Amino acid sequence: MSGGVDSSVTAALLKEQGYQVIGMTLRLWSEEHLGLDNRCCTTDAVGDARTIAGQLQIPHYTVDAKQIFHDTVVSAFIEGYQKGITPNPCLTCNRHIRWGFMYQRARALGADYMATGHYARLHENQNGKVQLLKGVDPDKDQSYVLYMLSQDDLRHTLLPLGGYTKKEVRRMAEEFQLPAAQRPDSQDLCFLGGDDYRDFLLRNQPAVHHPGPILDTEGQKLGEHPGLAFFTIGQRKGLGISPPRPHYVLGKDPERNALLVGTRDELGETSLQARDVHWVSGSAPDAPFQAEIKIRYTAPAREGVVTPQPDQKAEVQFPEPLRDITPGQAAVFYQEEVCLGGGIIQGTSP
Amino acid sequence: MSDVYLDHAATTPVDEKVLKAMQPYFGDIFGNPSSVHTFGQRADAALQKARRSMAEAIGCQPKEVIFTSCGSESDNLALRGAALAAREQGKGTHILISEVEHHAVTHTAQQLERSFGFELDYIPVDKHGEVDPESVAERIRPDTILVSIIHANNEIGTLNPISKISTLCRERDVLIHTDAVQGAAHFPLKMDDLKVDMLSIGAHKFYGPKGVGALYVREGTPLIPVQTGGSQEFGKRAATENLPFIVGMAEALQMAYEEADQRLKHTQKLRDRVISNVLGAIPDSTLTGHPERRLPNHASFAFQGLDGNLLVSALDVEGFACSSGSACKTGNPEPSSVLLSMGYDRGWAKGSLRVTVGKDTHQNEVDAFLDVLPLVVKRLRELP
């Protein structure tokens, strides 16, 4: 429980459905000296969660996860940027912290299930497999950040909000008289505490300041960049160059420490390679298949063909060039409502 | 989720007799003790009766009992009031406290150091958390104005040799205060024995209400009020007296003194049962605090490699309310500073557990707890 709308309504709904509910809040890492609290677990947020639990008459416990959150999520975030990719720490967190550390502790406290306020649905099919489905609210669907869950995880997971829209959830929060009903949605990464990720990186890994050339597709130097970590694929602003036509970040070449840029019509790739691919069903499909693919949490799904490969890899072909395919983000595969799995984007050329 | 309450050092329920004694003072006798009229006079009579009753119990004059809002306020008044009085009188600025004081003392002393120009030194403790009177004597300087040593530590239960310490303080003309918030709930403390200048108590540790406490201030002890305003409490603490709670505290203290023997025997038996069982059944466990010179209801442990906060949460789910020196409701698992100052390393100091029984705790409750605890510890130790 974060003290916010979604987890509060989750708890309230489950309580209403007759579950014996225990509230849990994680204490996560933040840069202490800055006085910025980790947004998910400020003292206020922990207090809010406890207040809401009290109102719902459920027990509530706060579990410390500072160290492990730092050592897995935050470190991977910093290392990823150092390596020139754009990591998605929420994926690391869900895999290692929520459905790892927290899940184990919830089980140790005697819980049969772990419930979260994610907008996604679970459905057990005839074969006894649990399917991960999109949330019904197309604006809020969060199945993207859950593609890595195993069958065992899913079997012990409850996602009560997946069948509702955010608007309905806010209305329920009001009906349950939860104080968080009007709290704004959280946007940024929790451990940034509202700060810019570039400043965060500079403070925590000064080596990300590593100037290098900005090169166009001809290999011509257009300027200097302060460090690859400060740019992401598709970015236009802040390049500090002034060619006649707007230029966008096409890619990064860590070996030459070069930022590769090009014009709008040079943007886009027709394929991507994914690593650490996870299949929700537990096994990889044995043939290429047509799917809708999301390459970022906020990106719309695009048609393509997914080819499973050995060693937990996969290749995705798109019929037309697709912008913003970004190494470090996840490519998540869907057929209709069903999330089949996904993997971390490794690159765009084989 | 808990059904069994084993956290009496945190607070206790208000005894029914106490509640009954308080009742009239919310309604029938509601006057302000400072008022001229008979409403006020009746309230004042009850106030003075409560003061006499408390004075009689602890063996002092009624005017030496100052009512406050809690044990923490008593500590604040003692330290800040005595330090600022010494400042007014042009005396020294050196203050001594032990390393294992309650925060009400530590943080007040630290504020005196940080914001008021006093000098603060800490008296170390031994591996049992006990203060050696000699180490107090060694640290007293000509400009030392105040020594504050906790009577019985809340976290580890260790009793300190207060009368020895106060004797040597008095020989050196240094004021001695003790926080007896825990101890006063278990021992019929007498001021003639303890020989301290100031002593703090809080009612809710001995089945009185929360929000009321007292500070014993020996006659003639220089003390200026921290809370200024009216001249209540002999000019030492301004505020209209919280009469129902004061009456409740007096009643609760009287009961605690009358029943002291039987409560002590009852709780000590259960405490010893807890200690011997836990140490026998749980590997890598140790009793923290003094094995004998400790609060009669207080068993405290450290378990190697365990998160005390998680342990207390898991025990709560199992139905048992305990606490941990390294736990707080926000889940911050800082290793216990008390255990660190006793020489425990961080691996032990994060895994502390405090079990404190009460006058109404049943043996079968304790036995049920002792059945569950080893299983919970084992389960949590198996976590990756």
Q: Are strands B94-98 and B285-287 parallel, antiparallel or unpaired?
A: unpaired
Reading chain A (350 residues) residue by residue, the pLDDT tens digits are 988 999 999 999 999 999 999 999 998 888 765 555 555 555 677 888 999 999 999 999 999 898 999 999 999 999 999 988 999 999 999 999 999 999 999 999 999 999 999 999 999 999 899 999 999 999 999 999 999 999 999 999 999 999 999 999 999 999 999 987 677 777 678 888 777 889 999 999 999 999 999 999 999 999 999 999 999 999 988 888 887 888 999 999 989 999 999 998 888 899 999 999 999 999 999 999 999 999 999 999 999 999 999 999 999 999 999 999 999 999 999 999 999 999 999 988 64
Chain A residues in contact with B331 (beta carbon < 8 A): 25, 27, 46, 61-64
Flag whether residue B307 sits within 8 Å of chain A, measured between CB atoms: yes
B99-128 average pLDDT score:
97
Count the neighbouring beta carbons within 10 Å of the beta carbon of residue A348: 20
- Contact (CB<8Å) A62/B314: no
B375 reaches A (C-beta below 8 A): no
Report pLDDT for A135.
97
φ/ψ of B274, rounded to 5, equals -60, -50
Is the minimum CB–CB distance between A57 and chain B shorter than 8 Å?
A: no
Q: Taking the domains of chain B in order of start, what are their residue ranges? A: 16-258, 260-381
Radius of gyration of chain B measured on its C-alpha atoms: 21
Q: CB A104 to CB B384 under 8 A?
A: yes
The pLDDT score that the predictor gives to residue A185 is: 72
Q: Is pLDDT of B330 > 70?
A: no
> What tens digit of pLDDT does each residue of B32-61 get?
999 999 999 999 999 999 999 999 999 999
Nearest CB partner across the interface for B330, out of A59, A62, A108: A62
Give the minimum alpha-carbon distance from B312 to chain A in angstroms, rounded to a whole number. Answer: 9
CA distance A59 to chain B (A): 6
Mutate to test the interface with B, among A21, A37, A62, A66 (most CBs of B within 10 A): A62
**Are residues A63 and B316, on separate chains, in Cβ contact within 8 Å?**
no
Dig out the tokens for B247 from the structure. 């009456």
Nearest CA to CA, how far is B318 from chain A (Å)? 8
Q: Does A96 touch chain B (CB under 8 A)?
A: no
- Using a CB–CB cutoff of 8 Å, tell me whether B305 touches chain A: no
Residues 27-46 (A) with a CB less than 8 A from some CB of B: 27, 43, 46
List, in order of start, the domains of chain A with CATH numbers: 5-117+160-192 (3.40.50.620), 119-158+268-350 (2.40.30.10), 209-266 (2.30.30.280)
Q: Which residues, 6 or more positions from A78, have their beta carbon under 8 angstroms from its beta carbon?
A: A201, A204, A205, A208
Q: 3.40.1190.10, 2.60.40.420, 3.90.1150.10, 1.10.3720.10: which CATH number matches B260-381?
A: 3.90.1150.10
Residue of B325 and B247 predicted with greater confidence:
B247
Q: Which of B307, B310, B326, B328 to mutate to test the interface with A (most CBs of A within 10 A)?
A: B310
**Rounded Cα gap, residues B203 and B253, in angstroms:** 8
Which distant-in-sequence residues (6+ apart) come within 8 Å of B378 by Cβ?
A: none
Closest-approach residue (CA) in chain B for A111: B317
Contacts for B228-235 with beta carbons within 8 Å, 24 or more apart?
B230/B34, B232/B33, B232/B34, B233/B66, B233/B67, B234/B63, B234/B66
Rounded Cα distance between B78 and B74, Å, is 6
**Residue B261, CA atoms < 13 Å, CB-side half-sphere:** 1
Which of B306, B307, B313 to mutate to test binding with chain A, by most A CBs within 10 Å of its CB?
B313
| pLDDT for the residue A295 | 96
Architecture of the domain defined by B16-258: 3-Layer(aba) Sandwich (3.40)
Residue in B with minimal Cα distance to A45: B330
Residue B146: predicted pLDDT: 98
Q: Does B383 touch chain A (CB under 8 A)?
A: yes
Whether B328 is a known active-site residue: answer: yes
Under the banding of pLDDT at 50, 70 and 90, the label for residue B221 is very high
Q: What are phi and psi of A300, to 5 degrees?
A: -70, 150
Average pLDDT of span B185-196: 97
* B window 264-303, beta carbon within 8 A of A: none
Q: For residue B302, is it left (φ>0), alpha (ψ between -120 and 50) or beta? A: beta
| Phi-psi sector, B309: left (phi>0), alpha (psi -120 to 50), beta | alpha
The rounded Cα B296 to chain-centroid distance in angstroms is 14
The reported pLDDT for the residue numbered B65 is: 98
CB contact under 8 A, A104 and B310: no
Is the minimum CB–CB distance between B331 and chain A shorter than 8 Å?
A: yes
Helix-, strand-, coil-residue percentages of chain B, each rounded to 5: 45, 15, 40
The pLDDT tens digits for B121-180 are 999 999 999 999 999 999 999 999 999 999 999 999 999 999 999 999 999 999 999 999
> B-chain residues within 8 Å CB-CB of A22?
1, 317
Cβ–Cβ below 8 Å for B313 and A109: yes
Q: Any catalytic annotation for residue A339?
A: no
Based on C-alpha coordinates, what's the Rg of chain A? 21
Instruction: State the Cα–Cα distance between residues A119 and A135, nearest whole angstrom.
Output: 5
Q: Choose the closest CB to B333 out of A22, A61, A64.
A: A64
Cα B374 from Cα B306, distance rounded (Å): 13
Residues of A in contact with B307 (CB under 8 A): 63-64
Q: Does B322 touch chain A (CB under 8 A)?
A: no
CA dist B91 and B144 (Å) reads 9
Cβ atoms of B169 and B148 within 8 Å: the answer is no
- Residue A208 identity: V
